[in-house]
């Protein structure tokens, strides 16, 4: 995270304090003893960490529940996060547009904005981003609350620790030091992360992953992505690559992938692969994924078969994740869910056939998440950086 | 872990104390401030946790390094684990034999024993195990040190928490409550785990995984197994299945696997798959894996091609692990390494081709580990259970 002076420091000076706050953020309201039980910290440590967080206004005592009796001299009232105490901005960059949201500390969206991108030139994209952020900062002024951080989510190989976009195919970027550049143009502390990992953070803290130590988010659409949470933490990979379900190769005789291999899940099930295959099979020169989808929805058997094959590939990719990691849940999302009626059955059948033993007990569910949710994921990474500030 | 009264309790009564001891076990000798830095615990917490461990004889002050000066009133001498303070027994069960080792607390092998198995009947296997354990207990008496636990490693679906072998294909066992039964017959606390996970624990604490937070152990031989360490912990899977690299399906047109799918890595690269394919390709009715290997080493081109294909499958399986998890290192081991000269190149080439982007930077290394090492892995799980006893 690149830091500037406009913002304040979060009053959690130890990993334990950050952990306590995160626990209340995802699971609150919680009493101090409930926090102690969940974090496996001592009640004394919880009481000590909660005090400055209440004093600084980040946590509130839930005085409504006055029926509870204090025990052992410790306050028994539950505490909860005051979402309105701080605001954050999340931006999702796609090849076509910027989607930005202003959220509170509980990652609830207050304002959302879209602007189209007409160029992928980093300077122009940064200028558009800065203008969009400025609009949201003005909105934040209206709430009278300070924005404490900006998160940016980009697809591709992103090094969060360094704040650098190593490679983003849709933006055609290589080694862009996005965090540093965006901090200069916006004056905010900036966190840059891979878009699927950002969405996974939002699901872990505020979505369908709350309370799960092991789950996966699989996104289908322009690419096939995957965010993995193992032992309660998002997997980043020792060298920055992880969750590349799109490049799990399931068929050596399959179509050529842009990565150079044959039969990757992405080469069968990503939007461009589906469009190409529908054209080939039907002879209809569909313009884009929406047109291919229309053709299949009109009942064209060739087009429907292409979606069925895509579903099979996705199901097999998910089974591979389940066989290696045994997650409790897999959440399928992404704009490709618009075609879900065309491949849901194939995803489930292929998963059930390829999952090994009790790995098949994994709960596979779908969750349509609009692009605002991806921007919300970016805001979640900014919240995460704010809470885990490197003051300890 | 099933507990009995013959053994003593380990004097670590908090997760932090166990973590401190484990850190010294893997990385020691360490000064208290080095321990604090590695565990991110306070120096005061380390000093407090170390004291009872020294008093009980599990840790020693390294008085040799008397040149170091004390600072802030805390002892500056490094501490290290007294390996001779406690002994453990590890047993690896295969379909053919039992391999048992007596180790010290640092998992160094003191004595090793093999006995053949003539039946897979659980009662008979238990009786053989009890006799073998009794031999090692007698050896331990010779050292004048008490055995604090027994670890048993079995291939297949093993529920460590419940102490139950859910399914072991080589032993043809289903739902055998092995921990409870072995505790009754040996009088020791018993930990039962999947054999590859046990080997992975030994590699993490005492082998090629020391100091790595993310690595994988891939074993080739009778089966193709994989132990995964992510965020510093061995992955067990929400439903008990994890690391099933053997059932990553890489070719829908490949040979049928015993799991019901086609083209699993195990259906191409496990011993029985290789033997079957060598017979089919060469027409020579090789008796077993050793005979198939001899034929390939004699230069039979058909047999050599079978090994080459097996190497390709293993390499693609490893690439799938790397693309999803991005480990720092993959350690290839198992009795199948006897054929390593026949497929090393194919493993490396297939891995390099299928690894996505910087996932290819993963350090893939081989490490021949005899069956005693698998038994040592079982002892490591017993040490782990002893250190993490549920007294907190």
Mean pLDDT of A357-368: 90
Is A4's pLDDT higher than 50? no
Q: Mean pLDDT, chain A, as a whole number?
A: 91
Nearest-CA distance A259 → chain B (Å): 7
User: What per-residue confidence (pLDDT) applies to B370?
Assistant: 81
Nearest-CA distance B220 → chain A (Å): 16
pLDDT band of B134, cuts 50, 70, 90: very high
Beta bridge partners, A157, equal A167
B235/A325 Cβ within 8 A: yes
Partner residue opposite A354 with nearest CB, options B242, B249, B328 = B249
Which residue stretches of chain A are H helix?
15-27, 32-39, 43-55, 122-143, 178-186, 195-206, 265-269, 271-282, 289-297, 301-325, 340-354, 371-387
Partner residue opposite B249 with nearest CB, options A228, A316, A321 = A316
Q: Judging by DSSP bridges, how do beta strands B224-230 and B215-220 pair with one another?
A: antiparallel
Q: With beta carbons less than 8 A apart as the criterion, state whether B82 and B105 touch.
A: yes
What is the spatial distance between Cα B294 and Cα A233, in angstroms, rounded to a whole number? 47
What is the spatial distance between Cα A88 and Cα A102, in angstroms, rounded to a whole number? 6
Tell me which of B123 and B65 has the higher pLDDT: B123
Mean pLDDT of A307-321: 97
User: What per-residue confidence (pLDDT) applies to A358?
Assistant: 84
Q: What is the fold of B86-201+373-387?
A: Nucleotidyltransferase; domain 5 (3.30.420)
Angle, to 10 degrees, between the axis of helix A15-27 and the axis of helix A371-387?
A: 150
Mean pLDDT of A371-392: 86
A261 chain-B contacts, CB cut-off 8 A: 353-354
In angstroms, what CA-CA distances link B337 with A51, B222, B248? Answer: 58, 11, 20
A239/B326 Cβ within 8 A: yes
Mean pLDDT of A348-368: 92
What is the spatial distance between Cα A13 and Cα B42, in angstroms, rounded to a whole number? 13
Q: With beta carbons less than 8 A apart as the criterion, state whether A8 and A45 touch.
A: no
B361 chain-A contacts, CB cut-off 8 A: 238-239
A239 chain-B contacts, CB cut-off 8 A: 326, 328, 358-359, 361-362
pLDDT tens per residue, range A203-220: 999 999 999 999 999 999
Residue that has been written with the tokens 């020691």 in this structure:
B28
What is the spatial distance between Cα B184 and Cα B188, in angstroms, rounded to a whole number? 8
B239/A326 Cβ within 8 A: yes
Is A1's pLDDT higher than 60? no
pLDDT band of B43, cuts 50, 70, 90: confident
Query: Which tokens sit at B243?
Result: 């690391």
Domain boundaries, chain B: 15-84, 86-201+373-387, 212-366
B354/A261 Cβ within 8 A: yes
Beta bridge partners, A59, equal A81
User: What per-residue confidence (pLDDT) applies to A262?
Assistant: 94
Nearest-CA distance A339 → chain B (Å): 24
Mean pLDDT of A155-170: 90
**Cis peptide upstream of residue A295 (ω within 30 degrees of 0):** no
User: What per-residue confidence (pLDDT) applies to B69?
Assistant: 53
What is the spatial distance between Cα B392 and Cα B388, in angstroms, rounded to a whole number? 9
Judged by average pLDDT, the poorest of A6-20, A132-146, A233-247 is A6-20
What is the spatial distance between Cα A197 and Cα B249, in angstroms, rounded to a whole number? 26
- Please state the three-class secondary structure of chain B as a single string: CECCCCCCCCCCCCHHHHHHHHHHHHHCCECHHHHHHHHCCCHHHHHHHHHHHHHCCCEEECCCCCCCCCECCECCCCEEECHHHCEEEEEEECCCEEEEEEEECCCCEEEEEEEECCCCCHHHHHHHHHHHHHHHHHHHHHHCCCEEEEEEEECCEEECCCCEEEEECCCCEEEECHHHHHHHHHCCCEEEEEHHHHHHHHHHHHCCCCCCCCEEEEEECCCEEEEEEECCEECCCCCCCCCCHHHCECCCCCCECCCCCECEHHHHHCHHHHHHHHHHHHCCCCCCHHHHHHHHHCCCHHHHHHHHHHHHHHHHHHHHHHHHHCCCEEEEECHHHHHHHHHHHHHHHHHHHHCCHHHHHCEEEECCCCHHHHHHHHHHHHHHHHHCCCCC
pLDDT tens per residue, range B66-118: 555 555 555 678 999 999 999 999 999 998 999 999 999 999 999 999 999 99
Mean pLDDT of B290-294: 96
Burial A96-131 (b: 16+ CB within 10 A, else e): eebbbbbbbbbbeebbbbeeebeeeebeebbebbbe
Euclidean distance between the first and the last CA atom of chain A, given in angstroms as a whole number:
15
Nearest-CA distance B48 → chain A (Å): 15
Mean pLDDT of A311-339: 95
| DSSP code for A135 | H
Query: Which tokens sit at A123?
Result: 């300077």
pLDDT tens per residue, range A13-70: 788 889 999 999 999 899 999 999 998 888 888 999 999 999 999 999 876 545 555 5
pLDDT tens per residue, range B189-217: 999 999 999 999 999 999 999 999 999 99
**Cis peptide upstream of residue B238 (ω within 30 degrees of 0):** no
| DSSP code for A164 | E
User: What per-residue confidence (pLDDT) applies to B11?
Assistant: 86
User: What per-residue confidence (pLDDT) applies to A281?
Assistant: 97
Is A75's pLDDT higher than 70? no
User: What per-residue confidence (pLDDT) applies to A99?
Assistant: 97
Q: With beta carbons less than 8 A apart as the criterion, state whether A266 and A226 touch.
A: no
pLDDT band of A194, cuts 50, 70, 90: very high
Judged by average pLDDT, the poorest of A146-150, A375-379, B61-65 is B61-65
Q: With beta carbons less than 8 A apart as the criterion, state whether A89 and A150 touch.
A: yes
What is the spatial distance between Cα B30 and Cα B24, in angstroms, rounded to a whole number? 6
Is B348's pLDDT higher than 90? yes
pLDDT band of B1, cuts 50, 70, 90: very low
Partner residue opposite A356 with nearest CB, options B244, B323, B326 = B244
Partner residue opposite A241 with nearest CB, options B237, B239, B356 = B356
Partner residue opposite A356 with nearest CB, options B259, B319, B361 = B259
For A290, phi then psi, to 5°, come to -65, -40
Nearest-CA distance B356 → chain A (Å): 7
Measured at the CA of B73, the angle between CA B70 and CA B75, to 5 degrees, comes to 50
The length of chain A, given as a count of residues = 392
Q: What is the fold of A15-84?
A: Arc Repressor Mutant, subunit A (1.10.10)
What is the spatial distance between Cα B216 and Cα B202, in angstroms, rounded to a whole number? 12
Is A370's pLDDT higher than 60? yes
Q: Mean pLDDT, chain B, as a whole number?
A: 91
DSSP A239-270: TS----GGG-B--TTSPBPTTS-BSBHHHHHS
Enter the CATH code of domain A211-366: 3.30.420.40
User: Would residue B229 be called left, alpha or beta, if left means φ above 0 and alpha means ψ between -120 and 50 degrees?
Assistant: beta
User: For A212, which residue in chain B has the nearest alpha carbon?
Assistant: B238
Same fold, A85-201+373-387 and A211-366: yes
What is the spatial distance between Cα B379 and Cα B138, in angstroms, rounded to a whole number? 17
Is B182's pLDDT higher than 80? yes
Q: With beta carbons less than 8 A apart as the criterion, state whether A325 and A230 touch.
A: yes
Judged by average pLDDT, the poorest of A214-218, A262-266, B352-356, B366-370 is B366-370
Q: What is the fold of A85-201+373-387?
A: Nucleotidyltransferase; domain 5 (3.30.420)
User: What per-residue confidence (pLDDT) applies to B62?
Assistant: 79
What is the spatial distance between Cα B204 and Cα B233, in angstroms, rounded to a whole number? 9
Mean pLDDT of B146-156: 95
Partner residue opposite B324 with nearest CB, options A167, A228, A259 = A228
pLDDT tens per residue, range A140-150: 999 999 999 99
Is B392's pLDDT higher than 50? no
Q: What is B212-366's CATH number, 3.30.420.40, 1.10.443.10, 3.40.50.1370, 1.10.10.10?
A: 3.30.420.40
User: What per-residue confidence (pLDDT) applies to B391?
Assistant: 45
ipTM of this complex prediction, to 2 decimal places: 0.88
B239 chain-A contacts, CB cut-off 8 A: 326, 328, 358-359, 361-362
Judged by average pLDDT, the poorest of A182-186, A270-274, B75-79, B349-353 is B75-79
B357 chain-A contacts, CB cut-off 8 A: 157, 167, 240-241, 244
- Nearest partner of A276 among A303, A237, A301, judged by Cα: A303
Q: With beta carbons less than 8 A apart as the criterion, state whether A385 and A189 touch.
A: yes
Mean pLDDT of A227-235: 95
Determine the residue among B244, B256, B263, B388 to mutate to test chain A binding: the one whose Cβ has the most chain A Cβ atoms within 10 Å: B244
Is A385's pLDDT higher than 60? yes
Q: Which residues contact B204 (CB under 8 A, 6 or more apart)?
A: B26, B210, B212, B215, B229, B234
What is the spatial distance between Cα B189 and Cα B387, in angstroms, rounded to a whole number? 12
B252 chain-A contacts, CB cut-off 8 A: 250-251
What is the spatial distance between Cα A107 and Cα A88, in angstroms, rounded to a whole number? 8
Nearest-CA distance A265 → chain B (Å): 11
User: What per-residue confidence (pLDDT) applies to A64?
Assistant: 55
């Amino acid at each position: 995270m690149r830091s500037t002076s406009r913002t304040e420091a979060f009053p959690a000076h130890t990993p334990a304090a950050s952990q306590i706050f995160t626990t209340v953020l995802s699971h609150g309201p919680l009493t101090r003893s409930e926090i102690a039980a969940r974090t496996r910290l001592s009640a004394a440590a919880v009481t000590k960490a909660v005090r400055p967080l209440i004093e600084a206004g980040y946590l509130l005592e839930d005085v409504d529940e006055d029926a509870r009796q204090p025990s052992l001299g410790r306050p028994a009232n539950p505490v909860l996060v005051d979402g309105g105490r701080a605001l954050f901005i999340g931006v999702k960059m796609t090849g076509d547009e910027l989607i930005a949201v202003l959220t509170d500390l509980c990652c609830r969206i207050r304002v959302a904005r879209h602007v189209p991108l007409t160029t992928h030139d980093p300077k122009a994209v940064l200028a558009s981003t800065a203008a969009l952020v400025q609009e949201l900062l003005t909105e934040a002024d209206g709430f009278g609350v300070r924005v404490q951080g900006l998160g940016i989510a980009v697809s591709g190989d992103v090094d969060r620790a360094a704040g650098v976009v190593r490679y983003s195919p849709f933006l055609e970027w290589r080694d862009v030091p996005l965090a540093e550049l965006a901090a200069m143009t916006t004056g905010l502390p900036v966190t840059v992360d891979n878009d699927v990992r950002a969405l996974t953070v939002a699901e872990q803290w505020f979505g369908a992953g709350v309370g799960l130590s092991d789950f996966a988010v699989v996104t289908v659409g322009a690419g096939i992505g995957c965010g993995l949470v193992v032992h309660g933490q998002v997997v980043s990979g020792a060298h920055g690559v992880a969750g590349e379900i799109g490049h799990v190769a399931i068929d050596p005789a399959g179509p050529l992938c842009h990565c150079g291999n044959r039969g990757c899940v992405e080469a069968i099930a990503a939007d461009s692969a589906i469009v190409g295959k529908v054209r080939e099979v039907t002879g209809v020169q569909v313009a884009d994924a929406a047109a291919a989808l229309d053709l299949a929805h009109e009942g064209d058997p060739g087009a429907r078969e292409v979606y069925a094959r895509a579903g099979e590939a996705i199901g097999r990719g998910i089974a591979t994740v389940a066989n290696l990691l045994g997650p409790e849940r897999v959440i399928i999302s992404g704009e490709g869910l618009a075609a879900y009626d065309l491949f849901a059955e194939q995803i489930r059948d292929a998963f059930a056939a390829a999952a090994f033993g009790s790995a098949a007990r994994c709960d596979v569910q779908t969750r349509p998440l609009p692009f605002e949710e991806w921007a919300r994921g970016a805001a979640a990474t900014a919240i995460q950086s704010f809470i885990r500030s490197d003051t300890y």
